[in-house]
Amino acid sequence: MLLPYFLRWAPPITTSFLYLVLFLQFLLRIP
């Protein structure tokens, strides 16, 4: 996969994407 290469050139994008996924999971837990 291209994940290690992606982590090399874009760490801020991956971290914000991870926080976005966690936030969406939190929103899905409310109802």
Q: pLDDT confidence of 1, banded at 50, 70, 90?
A: low
pLDDT at 25: 92
pTM over 0.85: no
* Cβ atoms 6, 14 nearer than 8 A: yes
Q: With 70 as the cut, is the pLDDT of residue 31 above it?
A: no
Cα separation, 31 vs 4, in Å, equals 35
* Cβ atoms 8, 16 nearer than 8 A: no
| Secondary structure of the chain in HEC code, one letter for each residue | CCHHHHHHHCHHHHHHHHHHHHHHHHHHHCC
| Annotated domain spans of the chain | 1-31
pLDDT digits (tens, 9 = 90+) for 12-24: 777 888 899 999 9
pLDDT at 30: 74
